[in-house]
């Protein structure tokens, strides 16, 4: 990996962690879009998974008093079912398909309530969230906008939303790392794995960005938080859809 590409990844890691520290999402979409552009898909999935795991885990720790463990338990049931299904799936997306998936997911937050109404605080909805998010996050790399469908209409505060989304996403990224390590090794041996020095350099930047984003989160009210989050992910989704079209 060349030094300019590595520096670009490190800068994007800091910026994306800052954005995720505020909204609990969106930053992962940005980072994944860059990684797909400059690395192979298995490398992108592993780098993204490692950085997002630590970023989400650190964010969850900072907001640990707001974690609802009933949500985590129900989500884990659905996630476990998704893992079983993934064991029988051999399909993996190419870069064009990946950009389309990344671009379409943010648009889901505009679904009218009458078509899809879900609340992460309801047990069956939470189990469904675990199944969908673990599956999509593993195959597409990102599933934050899908998870947001289950949080955006809940009665949780902005801190509760970020804390619980971060905890569930940390679990999802661990599964993604395990799923994509095999394909990375099969491509060209151990050398196809992301360089260790890059991961070590990016981790503190990810934690720093998360902490800085948390400071902004504390100054924001719940109404502005939800409104800004919807428009931000929509903008990112539109960019990825255009990127997918440009690959034809």
Which string of DSSP letters, residue by residue, matches the chain?
--HHHHHHHHHHHHHHHHHHHHHSSSHHHHHHHHHHHHS-HHHHHHHHHHHHHHHHHHHHHHTGGG--HHHHHHHHHHHHHHHHHHTT------HHHHHHHHHHGGGGGG--TTT----TTSHHHHHHHHHHHHHHHHHHS--HHHHHHHHTTSS--HHHHHHHHHHHHHHHHHHHHHHHHHHHHHHHTBTTSPPHHHHHHHHHHHHHHHHHHHHHHHTS-HHHHHHHHHHHHHHHHHHHHHHHHHT-
Rounded to two decimals, the pTM is: 0.81
pLDDT score at 248:
44
Q: Please report, for the chain, the start and end positions of each structural domain, with discontinuous segments joined by +.
A: 3-246
**Cα angle 203-209-213, degrees, rounded to a multiple of 5:** 150
Rg of the chain over Cα atoms, rounded to whole angstroms, equals: 17
pLDDT score at 88:
84
C-alpha dihedral sign at 157, 160, 164, 167: positive
pLDDT score at 184:
66
Per-residue pLDDT of the chain (248 residues; tens, 9 = 90+): 788 888 999 999 899 888 877 876 677 788 888 898 888 888 888 888 988 898 889 889 988 999 999 999 999 999 999 999 988 877 677 788 888 888 877 777 777 767 777 889 999 999 999 999 999 888 888 887 788 788 877 888 888 988 998 899 999 999 999 888 876 666 555 556 777 888 889 889 988 888 888 888 787 777 777 677 777 777 878 888 887 777 54
């Amino acid at each position: 990996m060349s030094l300019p590409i590595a520096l670009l990844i490190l800068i994007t890691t800091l910026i994306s962690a800052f954005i995720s520290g505020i909204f609990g999402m969106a930053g992962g979409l940005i980072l994944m879009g860059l990684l797909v552009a400059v690395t192979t898909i298995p490398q992108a999935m592993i780098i993204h998974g490692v950085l997002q795991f630590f970023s989400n885990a650190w964010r969850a720790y900072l907001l640990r008093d707001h974690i609802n463990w009933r949500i985590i338990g129900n989500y884990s049931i659905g996630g476990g079912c998704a893992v079983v299904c993934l064991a029988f799936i051999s399909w993996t997306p190419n870069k064009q398909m990946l950009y389309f998936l990344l671009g379409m997911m943010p648009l889901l937050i505009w679904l009218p309530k009458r078509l899809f109404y879900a609340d992460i605080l309801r047990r069956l909805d939470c189990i469904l969230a675990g199944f969908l998010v673990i599956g999509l996050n593993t195959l597409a790399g990102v599933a934050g906008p899908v998870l947001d469908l289950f949080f955006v209409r809940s009665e949780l505060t902005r801190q509760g939303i970020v804390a619980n989304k971060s905890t569930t996403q940390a679990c999802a990224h661990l599964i993604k790392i395990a799923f994509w390590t095999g394909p990375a090794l099969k491509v060209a041996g151990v050398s196809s794995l992301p360089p260790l020095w890059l991961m070590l350099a990016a981790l503190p930047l990810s934690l720093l960005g998360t902490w800085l984003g948390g400071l902004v989160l504390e100054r924001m009210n719940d109404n502005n938080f939800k409104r800004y989050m919807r428009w931000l992910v929509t903008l990112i989704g539109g960019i990825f859809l255009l990127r997918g079209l440009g690959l034809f």
